[in-house]
Chains A and B, each alone.
Chain A
């Protein structure tokens, strides 16, 4: 464009050959129209030189010229001046080739000098203006940053009365985060870090909708920049994942079938061989015939982790203490290939339906479903009886805020502490049920979908103190290590083997996984106050399913009276009893079964009669209701 314009201005001077060369340099020409005299290159200056000179000179030169077109264009109609102008500009520019200079010189020596001076002056002025403009800009920036100050009390009160001004809040949040990340340089004198943090908490709470407790907890755990990332990631949902059911199909085959149906999916990550992530889908992903045939399960990626850490082997006995809706249980069954035995326990009766439905849908046959409170399970299933336990503990849900926004406002300190107490009880129950001497197992996996330290590291630390267990690596190396110390807490150093997962780092829900190995079946008897021991559950000796109560009490007292030296004896006893436990039970049963049962035929007769009476009742009811209907 520029060359054409110039052509018009210069009139007959210009001919076509220059155009050809200019087309090469068209782009830099157009770009650098603006005043950048000092910054222009060799090439820029050369372009100008070419254009202004006669075509003959132009063809002599082979060089590109610069971007002083800006100045050229301003001097409209100054054809005679154009040459001198350029020469003047040539002199000012740095590092241009000598050829262009010499060529221009050859033509117009004489009447140049005054005009040269003028042009130089103008150029210098422009240069100065530019510098001053730049300085002012920088000054403005600095001034703006210095000017950020925390709102005074009056301003805060004003804001409370008005509806929240969201852009203002957001701006202030960003400013405070910036200040906090470089506190030395950017903070206002006289305001402490605490005041900035306090204001940040208030702003974040009102902008994103968190209550004071939760935002305070998050601020304590993360530095400001990471905190912003975390909160932003809680606002967005995590991608939908599904898990291939290896009992019925393979991931590749399933992916093919789903892609044919119009689902856009990808393998989940390299750490999972059964996961798929769904980007979008033309058909409802939870209602395809493949879903109904049990080929896959909709499950979040974080739910894969505890089962991968548990790593159940075939023919083992496994308990899942909080099993509904059954995603993890079915994964365990798939890993065990339907061998062995799984006890799936769920406390809430309303969730049992979905648990059983999922188990049947996915073709799991080695599971027993029961409806107990987790604390009662050791009494029912026996102590030291199973190989592995998975405890996906009920928690406050602070890691899955992206799924459930009500957590932002509904959780308080008491809720977290209640959860923590329950989790501590459950983890002790879980540990008690595992047999430390099992050939292939002896592991407990504890996981929560929460990021609070009180529910995670504190619970594991408690378990380490109360039972003879130790932490082992989970096998999930891509997570972040758990906290070994946090504010005033100091945890056991092995807690670094636990793993934390965050939405802003791993793109999955906030999660915590810890894997414990039970070293022995004894409980640590401390030399401290004995009454505290009584609160805890039964002694390791009694295999409760058929144990006599008297022996239980006796052994408890025995434990109480004697010191840790007896623990070794207890160990021997428990290992002996654990094997003999099953032998004991039938003998106990025999002792109790003193009455004789009626024969099978008699029983079936009785039942038939009962059924008949039931049928009569039903038919009479129906007749009765029909009558009523007729009457009405």
Chain B
């Protein structure tokens, strides 16, 4: 387990910025109540076995005496680095991202299950959508009962969405909570 270096930090923050925009500082400066210390500490990012973890400082301190091969997970894993060096956000980052998301999309109950199987969000399944979405923005997908289901990338801007036919793709699927069941081993 080690802290991220410059290149890695930029990669991670870039991805997060797509979803949160200026709320990124909320993520970094969130006071954390974890750990047995009475005062809230801060969160930090750590890299361990190509996975990036978002952990409270007090946890990090106390995990240092666990040997590297034996340490499995800390706090919340938010993503992993691939062999090629690229950073992908995984579904475990959902709670963090959803809390600070700028662009949100609500989908109808009928197309919930389709999204949870890994399909993209079609225009016909769209319930509500926040304003000013540009193509390529990170979008968090919610169900109509405000339960976060996953996240993805916007395919088109708001205005273009209106012109689309009902089978057009609005949000490209990146990650959804169905992965906990489908791909438990790969998380």
Contact = CB atoms under 8 A, between A and B. Distances in A.
Contact of B95 (A317, A363, A600): A363
Given A368-B59, A368-B66, A340 B34 contact: yes
Given A289-B143, A614-B85, A369 B72 contact: yes
Interface in A243-272: 257
A341 interface: yes
Contacts of A294: 177
Contacts of A292: 116, 177-178, 180-181
A368 B187 contact: no
B148 interface: yes
A289 B85 contact: no
Contact of B73 (A290, A354, A359, A361): A359
Interface in A591-632: 600, 603-604, 607-608, 611, 614-615, 618
Interface stretch (B74-82, B125-133, B154-162, B167-175): B74-82
B65 A360 contact: no
B73 A365 contact: no
Interface string B55-83: 01011001101110111111111000001
Contact of B83 (A286, A352, A355, A618): A618
A317 B113 CA distance: 39
B165 interface: no
Contacts of B95: 363
Nearest to B186: A353
A421 B148 CA distance: 47
Interface residues of A, number: 47
Given A289-B112, A353-B185, A360-B187, A380 B66 contact: yes
Contacts of B58: 341
A371 B72 contact: yes
A360 B62 contact: no
B118 interface: no
A463 interface: no
Given A604-B6, A618-B84, A293 B177 contact: yes
A356 interface: yes
A545 interface: yes
Contacts of A372: 66, 70
A603 to B, nearest CB: 6
Given A293-B148, A366-B35, A370-B70, A360 B177 contact: no
Contact of B34 (A339, A360, A363, A382): A339
A118 B37 CA distance: 104
Contacts of A352: 72
A630 B25 CA distance: 51
Given A370-B66, A608-B7, A341 B147 contact: no
Contacts of B66: 368, 370, 372, 380-381
A366 B59 contact: yes
Contacts, number: 125
Contact of A357 (B35, B59, B113, B187): B187
A361 B6 CA distance: 30
Contacts of B180: 292, 357, 360-361
Interface string A282-303: 0000110110111000000000
A618 B86 CA distance: 13
Given A340-B35, A604-B5, A353 B184 contact: yes
A320 to B, nearest CB: 13
A341 B5 contact: no
B147 A289 contact: yes
B149 interface: yes
Contacts of B185: 353
A96 B158 CA distance: 96
A316 interface: yes
Contacts of A603: 5
B7 A356 contact: no
Nearest to B38: A315
Contacts of A289: 112-113, 116, 143, 147, 149, 177
A43 interface: no
A198 to B, nearest CB: 49
A357 B76 CA distance: 10
A172 B34 CA distance: 62
Interface string B14-45: 00000000000000000001111110000000
B100 interface: no
B72 A339 contact: no
Contacts of B35: 315, 339-341, 366
B87 to A, nearest CB: 12
Nearest to A545: B65
Contacts of A317: 36
Contacts of B84: 614-615, 618
B77 A360 contact: yes
B76 A341 contact: no
Nearest to B33: A339
Interface in A311-356: 315-317, 338-341, 352-356
B74 to A, nearest CB: 5
B34 A356 contact: no
Most chain B C-beta atoms within 10 Å of own C-beta, residue among A257, A286, A287, A366: A366
Interface-central residue, B36, B65, B177, B181, by most chain A CB under 10 Å: B36
A380 B67 contact: yes
Interface of A: 257, 286-287, 289-290, 292-294, 315-317, 338-341, 352-357, 359-361, 363, 365-372, 380-382, 387, 545, 600, 603-604, 607-608, 611, 614-615, 618
10 contacts: A286-B181, A287-B181, A293-B149, A294-B177, A340-B34, A356-B73, A360-B187, A366-B56, A368-B66, A607-B5
Interface of B: 5-7, 33-38, 56, 58-59, 62-63, 65-67, 69-77, 83-85, 91-92, 95, 112-113, 116, 143, 145, 147-149, 177-178, 180-181, 184-185, 187
A-B interface, 6 closest residue pairs, ranked by CB to CB distance from nearest: A292-B177, A366-B34, A369-B73, A360-B92, A369-B72, A604-B5
Given A292-B178, A361-B177, A607-B7, 10 more contacts: A289-B112, A292-B177, A315-B37, A341-B58, A353-B185, A355-B72, A361-B180, A366-B75, A367-B74, A604-B6
